Amino acid sequence: MTWSSRLALFVVLLSAMGACNLEKEIEIELPEYESRIFVECYLEPGQPYTLLMTRTSPYFEPFPDLDAQYLQQILVDSAQVFIHHQGATHVLRNEWLFNNSTSKFFNYKSSDIVPLNYTDDFELEIITKDGKTITAVTRLMPVVPIDSIVVNFAEDDTLARVLTYFTDIPGERNYYRRMLNQSTLDSIPQQDFVSDDRIVEDVFIFGSGYVYADGDTVINTIFHIDKAYYDFFGSVQTAVSSNGNPFGQPSPIISNLEGTAGAIGIFTGLSYDRVVTIVER
């Protein structure tokens, strides 16, 4: 068959398909959703031990009102929560706490303070109301300081970009989270992503677009994170980007939690350096 014959046949087939009614409603029976416990516990030196434990909800469930009744439905209460470190056991009581500076909510807390210790493990132990267990182990990573912040104005323009420089720890695989906020920490980050050092030999350089005017406040934060948090954060970002995308691949949450409860989430430390810069010419 010649090329012209193939083209003519393709046009005929396309016209025939266009004449057909290809719209048809299809009902898909989804399996019954099984809710899972979701735990987030971030250890920040100098701050109290806090933890959030909730239940996951079905994707197709109507979006609820964000009120006290909704919190009662998703919060997992009446669990025993312990964090073991250096032979001591810290008990996290089942109490609500809202952190005004970070706009974060927790339902388990302790008055004990997370110590600055980079050499010993922290062990999480949770016993749920029905006797199931959730466990995890983590360690604080040493802070990687920011070397410098460079403000660079575009030529013949009033807007500037911000460049953040820091030196990678040599001889080991490292993972980082970069956050860039404007004005206040509780603002929506303009940048928030994780990165490893596979293609970096010495100095990291994270930049922004030319979006800052003279007098703007820019808050740079560099977290030194472990691989567990790197994998967890990346899987959450992938899941968010796939949400509502018919061509996106489903992304399971990568968790470092173990135990009989089948929970997912993250138990990790937050070690970071932060620099606040006022943009000036």
Q: What is the pLDDT of residues 19-31, one digit of tens each?
A: 555 566 766 565 5
pLDDT for 61: 64
pLDDT digits (tens, 9 = 90+) for 85-121: 999 999 999 999 887 767 788 999 999 999 999 999 9
| Residues 121-162 pLDDT 10s | 999 999 999 999 999 999 999 999 999 999 999 888 899 999
Q: Domains (ranges, CATH) in the chain?
A: 37-142+253-270 (2.60.40), 146-225+274-278 (2.60.40)
Q: Is 48 helix (H, G, I), strand (E, B) or coil?
A: strand
How much is the pTM?
Answer: 0.83
- Helix (H) or strand (E) holding 38, with range, is strand 37-43
Q: Tokens in use for 5?
A: 């014959």
Please say whether the beta carbons of 162 and 279 come within 8 A.
Answer: yes
Beta carbons of 93 and 50 less than 8 angstroms apart? no
Cα 156 to chain centroid, rounded: 38
Rg of the chain over CA atoms, in angstroms? 25
Give the mean pLDDT of the chain.
Answer: 86
